[in-house]
Chains A and B, each alone.
Chain A
Amino acid sequence: MTHSEITEKLQIIFRNVFSTPDIQVTDDLNAEKVDRWDSLTHLTMIAEVESEFGVKFKLKELISMKNVGDMIRLIIEKKQA
């Protein structure tokens, strides 16, 4: 799965979970830039991403994720492993 394919799928999840239909997912997107991205919706989003891509993040990986780009890199890594 390529970076842009993942981005596309994430965009659908993000628009849905954060109830914000105009979100444009980019690598540097993070919680500060989305109004409805808080501690509750964050974990919902993570759960959705895990089930969409069939991956499971470790707590430490979640802590080190600073933006969507970090998440995409992790997804690619996990899909290849």
Chain B
Amino acid sequence: MNQLDINAVPFIQDLWNSLYNTELDPNRICCSIQGKTYSYGEFSFQVRLHSNRLIEFRKSNFSDVLNSSNNLENNEPFVTNNIQRTPARNPRIGVIIEDQFDTYCYIVACLIQGCAFVPIQPSYPKSRLEDILEMAELDAWFGPHNTPVIGNTSLFHLNSADLTSSLSSSNGVLICNDVLSSEESTQSLLNSNVHSEYPWENLLIDFPINFDNTAYILFTSGTTGKPKGVPISYSNLQHFYEGFWSLGYSLSASDRFLQMFELTFDLSVSSFLIPLCLGASFHTLDKSIIKPLALYDVLESQRISFALMVPSAVEMLAPYSDDIELPDLKYTQFCGEAFKLNQLNTWSSCCPNSQIDNVYGPTEATIYCTRYTAYPLSHPPKQKNGIVCIGQPMKHVSLKLSESNELMLGGLQTTSGYLHSTEEQKGKFQQGYYLSGDLAEFDGVDYYCLGRLDDQVKVQGYRIELSELEFAASRIRENVRFKAVAIVSESITRLHLFCVSEKLNSFELPSFESQLKDQLPWYMVPHQIHEIPDFPLNVNGKIDKKQLIEMYVKP
């Protein structure tokens, strides 16, 4: 990848063209966020504002990096801002995420400036944020209006006055938590010449994007109780982008994309980046409406033509399928969970005009990396055990099966490894392939995903290691034994936590539950906690999950 011209990352050029090509109408719709519409003029104005802030920041804090980036042979670590860095490391910018217009502008500014964005969910429990911040080693922050900002110990209780001291101790600089309101920005837009002040060629020459630099870092559930940091490079993202366009979708600037994902989830990246690079628009859900209903509301009222969704969303809408009418929907992609045949049938009968693709892939292989077109088809869709097949690798992806039939993901979309990885985590990457943990089968044409080899489960698309939940629980109650189980009922996955303490009913469930909520993100909090006298065991002396469920969970 290093042979490529580092000034020419094609998807960044497309992005720039959408934002700053003076021949395009600045009033065309860029996005609607919770029902409010924004134009490309407004978006590009804000992006440029934040880009300038990033440039200033890099000039004052990363000048050493600039000087030595011309000579990558020189691997001597050097010091900026009191942190040792290797020359190839680009700035890491924390973005405190909210479903707001500004958040998207911050992220796009980071990408255009060749920085790594690290989305930080402010509602995460303090201990999880601390783990994430420790690993992420952020250099600076973007935060929204009036949000209390974090320091090295994720002090969300801090007010802005405490900001400077907490940030200086984490070596992170707050770039911006004070943006113009959209009325002000529209006014400034009218008064200024957006396109002339900072010609983009100059910016990129100042700060060339190295293909191997990190574009974003996301954190996923880890077995040891700590989240794992997955860095995705500009090269990974560019190859996903090329792979996407090789899927044969017929799309233009007039298409309208769904963006239903939280920004800590990589499916959000394609949901906003593809439309922005195309000059099209993306649309988020109205938060005042409860989620599956908000999803239908945006699909219908915004006349969405391209939707990337999780299958459980359809499951929840299924009882109302008679009311669903979405004539504008041309393409639906399902990702993030096993896509079931009945979900496919529901959706294809609701939206007969929409092509339905099942796409598959973990965060480690950049957004998604295989595709199967399940509708329309001349033959029945391929499936195993009622799960739709995941199809074939995308353009820059290569797949193979290990001896134990574990699906291995190689090629240019796969990350080079976790942040600060342990030996066990390093073992997940072998000869350029990532061991996905998914059990798979290959019929000579297409791949099928048959389930997990480990205890990882998905709740509404979020990856959860059951051992991480057990680990968090055992930190709160040391003398209690725990078993976490995911139970699927009517295609909805719910977590149950079983607890065996030395003395029955000594558990104090309410305080335990609230402490657990303080440690885990919402999707990892168990649906039900069962205090039981003892675990039923199978013949091998292991906890009998089936019996456990039969004994204690109401069907």
What is the interface of chain A, defined by CB distance below 8 A to chain B?
A: 31, 38-40, 42-43, 47, 58-60, 62-63, 66
Partner of A60, one of B292, B323, B492: B323
The answer to whether B320 and A59 have CB atoms under 8 Å apart is yes
Q: How far apart are the CA atoms of A47 and B490 in the complex, in Å?
A: 14
Taken residue by residue from 283 to 305, chain B's Cβ proximity to chain A (1 for < 8 Å, 0 otherwise) reads as 00000111111101100000000
23 contacts between A and B (CB under 8 A): A31-B290, A38-B291, A39-B290, A39-B291, A39-B292, A39-B316, A40-B492, A40-B494, A43-B292, A43-B316, A43-B319, A47-B319, A58-B320, A58-B323, A59-B296, A59-B317, A59-B323, A59-B324, A62-B293, A62-B320, A63-B289, A63-B294, A63-B297
Residues of B within 8 A of A40 (CB): 316, 492, 494
Set of chain A residues within 8 Å of B320, measured between Cβ atoms: 58-59, 62
Q: Give min CB distance, B288 to chain A, whole Å.
A: 7
Q: Which residues of B contact A42 (CB under 8 A)?
A: 290
Q: B291, B293, B294, B297 — which one has the most chain A CB atoms within 10 A of its CB?
A: B293
The total of chain B residues at the interface (CB under 8 A) is: 17
Having A31-B290, A63-B294, A63-B296, one finds 16 other A-B pairs with CB under 8 Å, namely: A38-B290, A38-B291, A39-B290, A40-B316, A40-B494, A42-B290, A43-B292, A43-B316, A47-B319, A58-B320, A58-B323, A59-B324, A62-B293, A62-B320, A63-B293, A63-B297
B292 touches A66 (CB 8 A): no
Give Cα A40–Cα B291 distance, bound, in whole angstroms: 9
Task: Please give me the residue from chain A that is nearest to B459 by CB atom.
Answer: A40
Residues of the B chain whose Cβ atoms lie less than 8 Å from the Cβ of A59: 293, 296, 317, 320, 323-324
Q: A39: which B residues are within 8 A, CB to CB?
A: 290-292, 316
Which of A58, A59, A66 has the largest number of chain B CB atoms within 10 A?
A59
CB-CB nearest in chain A for B294:
A63
Q: Which residues of B are at the interface with A, using a C-beta cutoff of 8 A?
A: 288-294, 296-297, 316-317, 319-320, 323-324, 492, 494
A52 to B316, CA, bound (A): 20
For A38, what are the chain B residues with a Cβ–Cβ distance below 8 Å?
Answer: 290-291
Shortest distance from the beta carbon of A7 to any chain B beta carbon, whole Å: 20
In the complex, chain B residues whose CB is within 8 Å of the CB of A62: 293, 320
Q: Could you tell me the distance between the alpha carbons of A40 and B527 in the complex, rounded to whole angstroms?
A: 10
CA distance A66 to B293 in the complex (A): 12
* Chain A residue at minimum C-beta to C-beta distance from B494: A40
Give chain B residues whose Cβ lies under 8 Å from the Cβ of A31.
290
| Chain A nearest Cβ from B7, distance in angstroms | 45
- Contact partners of B324 in chain A: CB under 8 A: 59
- For B313, the closest partner residue in chain A by CB is A39
Distance from B99 Cβ to chain A, minimum over Cβ atoms (Å): 15
Q: How far is the CA of A42 from the CA of B295 in the complex (A)?
A: 14
Contacts of B294 in A (CB 8 A): 63
Chain A's closest residue to B290 (CB) is A42
Q: Return the chain A residue nearest B320 by Cβ.
A: A59
A39 to B323, CA, bound (A): 19
Q: How far is the CA of A38 from the CA of B527 in the complex (A)?
A: 11
A40-B492, A43-B316, A59-B293 as given contacts; A66 in contact with B323, CB under 8 Å: no
- Chain A residues contacting B317 (CB-CB under 8 Å) are 59
With A and B bound together, what is the CA distance between A7 and B291 in angstroms? 24
Of all chain A residues, which has the CB nearest B292? A39
Closest Cβ–Cβ distance, residue B304 to chain A (whole Å): 15
Contacts of A58 in B (CB 8 A): 320, 323
Which of A38, A42, A43, A47 neighbours the largest number of chain B CB atoms within 10 Å of its CB? A43
Task: Determine the chain B residues whose CB is within 8 A of the CB of A47 once the complex forms.
Answer: 319
CB neighbours (8 Å) of B292 from chain A are 39, 43
* A residues in contact with B289, CB < 8 Å: 63
Q: CA of A42 to CA of B492 in the docked complex: distance in angstroms?
A: 13
Cβ of A70 to closest chain B Cβ, rounded Å: 12
In the complex, which residues of chain A have a beta carbon less than 8 angstroms from the beta carbon of B293?
59, 62-63
Q: CA separation between A59 and B299, bound complex, in Å?
A: 13
Q: Which residues in A have their C-beta under 8 angstroms from that of B494?
A: 40
| Residues from chain A with Cβ under 8 Å of B492 in the complex | 40
Q: A59-B296, A59-B324 are in contact. Are A66 and B319 (CB under 8 A)?
A: no
The docked-state distance in angstroms from the alpha carbon of A45 to that of B492 is: 15
Residues of A within 8 Å of B319, CB to CB, are 43, 47
Q: Which residue of A lies closest to B286 (CB)?
A: A63
In the complex, how many angstroms separate the beta carbon of A45 from the nearest chain B beta carbon? 10
Give complex CA distance A63, B291 in Å: 10
A31 to B288, CA, bound (A): 9
Cβ of B325 to closest chain A Cβ, rounded Å? 9
Bound together, the chains give a CA A34 to CA B294 distance in angstroms of: 19
Known: A43-B316, A43-B319, A59-B296. A66 touches B290 (CB 8 A): no
Instruction: With CB as the reference atom, state the residue of chain A lying closest to B517.
Output: A35
Chain A nearest CB: distance from B555 CB in Å? 14
A31, chain B: closest CB distance, angstroms: 6
Bound CA span A79–B16, Å: 57
